[in-house]
Each structure stands twice: as C-alpha cells, then as structure tokens.
Amino acid sequence: MNYLRWVVRSRRHPSAILLFVQLAGMVLYPLFENTDAGRIGFGIFGVLVLIVTTRMVRMTPGLAWVSMGIALPAIVLQVLQVLLDVPHLLPWSAALEAIFYFYAAGSLIAYMLADNRATTDELFAAAATFTLIAWGFTWLFLLLQALQPGSFSAFVEADQQRSWTELMFLSFAVLSGVGLSDVIPLRPVSRSIVAVEMFVGVMYIAAVVSRLIGLTIHRGGREQP
C-alpha cells in the first residue's frame, strides 16, 4: 500500500521527483568527484538525471523526440568517457548536456505558463527549472573551460582547471543573484556568459516565479469563505 501511494504521488507531482534527484546529485557528487569510483558513479547518476528529465519533458509542451535526440548522444558520450577515459569527448558531451538542460528548462517554463492557475506540481517545477538552468550553465562553463583553458580562476589553486562542483557553485551563486563565488571568470567570453546568467536569473524570478506566487495568493484568496 505504501508503495502504491508513493507511485500515485510521484505521478501527481513528477516535478518533485526531478527536483529531488537533482538536489541529491548536488549534495552527493562533491563527496566522490576526486576518485575513479566517484567519476563512474557520477556518470551513471548523470544518465539517471537525463532519463528523469527526459521523462519530465514528455509531460510538458516540449517535444519528446527533440529531448530524446539530445539526451541519447549525451548519454552515450558520458558512458564512453567513464569507460574509456577519453577527455577529448568532454566538450561534445558538455555542449549536448547544456543544450538538453536548457531545452528541458524551457519546456518546464512553458508548462508553468500554460494556464492561469498554480498547482502544487508547478511550484515544484519552478524549483526544478531553477536547478535545470543552473546545471545548464554549469555544463556551458565546462565547455568553455575545455575550449579556453584558464577561463575561470579561484582564490585557491588559481592555475588549475575548475571542477564541476566549483562551476556548479558559481552557476548557482550567479543565477540566484547572491553574487559571485570564489570562482571568478577571467576571459571576455566567460565574463559575457556569466553576465547572461545574471540576466536570466533576474528575469526568471521576475517573470515566472513572481507569476506563480501571484496565482497562488489569488487562489488562496478565492478559497477563503
């Protein structure tokens, strides 16, 4: 019975499952990213996130064949990187993953703007979309770093390439509007992309999140006797 209840709730609130998977990856990956087993685990986890996100996109106005067409090559490249340790595949996989997460985020935004009422799943979708955008920019930073080494620096070990966790922290710090992290964009292109993420974060909160909050308050006001 408990399992059946969980299945029913997951179908009712698929955005909550997507959000949980993404947050779990953010918390767990830094514990293992410096080990070979951790890299393999994160590659498998990345495939899981792609599958969950693809499933979520199928429930939105986004086209399933487009999301699958982007996700499948990204999954193959991730598996090849994990099994064969081929570093030159990173720019390709990072580009595909960035495109995929941005497409999934756009599909979720279209899902949230499709009607004039705010459901519980749409509130979860707002949080999941924020993480999708942040992950998309993280992979975009990785792509840029692979093409232009030295695009990002840090107060500690400034001469080294930044890890996925460091770039993810930068992405969330910029997108949320709390300011830059200890990771700093150095080259003109990297600074431009960071500036674009700042703009995207402000517009997302102003146009999407504020709308959902307004609809939620309006719904609560109408339900009062």
Instruction: Look at residues 6, 10, 2, 8 and name the one whose alpha carbon lies nearest to residue 55.
Output: 10
Average pLDDT over residues 129-148: 93
Host H or E run for residue 133: helix 120-147
Q: How would you class 211 by CB atoms within 10 Å of its CB: exposed for 0-12, middle for 13-18, buried for 19 or more? A: middle
- What the block records as the tokens of 191 is 């600074």
Which domains, from first to last, does the chain contain? Answer: 2-223 (1.25.40)
Confidence label for 141 from pLDDT (cuts 50, 70 and 90): very high
CB 122 within 8 A of CB 74: no
Q: Mean pLDDT for the chain?
A: 80
Q: Any idea which of 29-33, 96-100, 192-196 has the lowest mean pLDDT?
A: 29-33
pTM of the full structure: 0.85
Residue with the two structure tokens 């947050």: 23
Average pLDDT over residues 14-39: 78
Residue range 78-126, pLDDT digits in tens: 777 777 777 788 889 889 989 988 998 998 898 888 878 878 888 888 9
Residue range 43-71, pLDDT digits in tens: 667 667 777 777 777 777 777 778 788 87
Strand partners, 153: 184
Cα 153 to Cα 33: distance, rounded to the nearest angstrom? 19
Average pLDDT over residues 154-162: 69
Residue type, 124: F
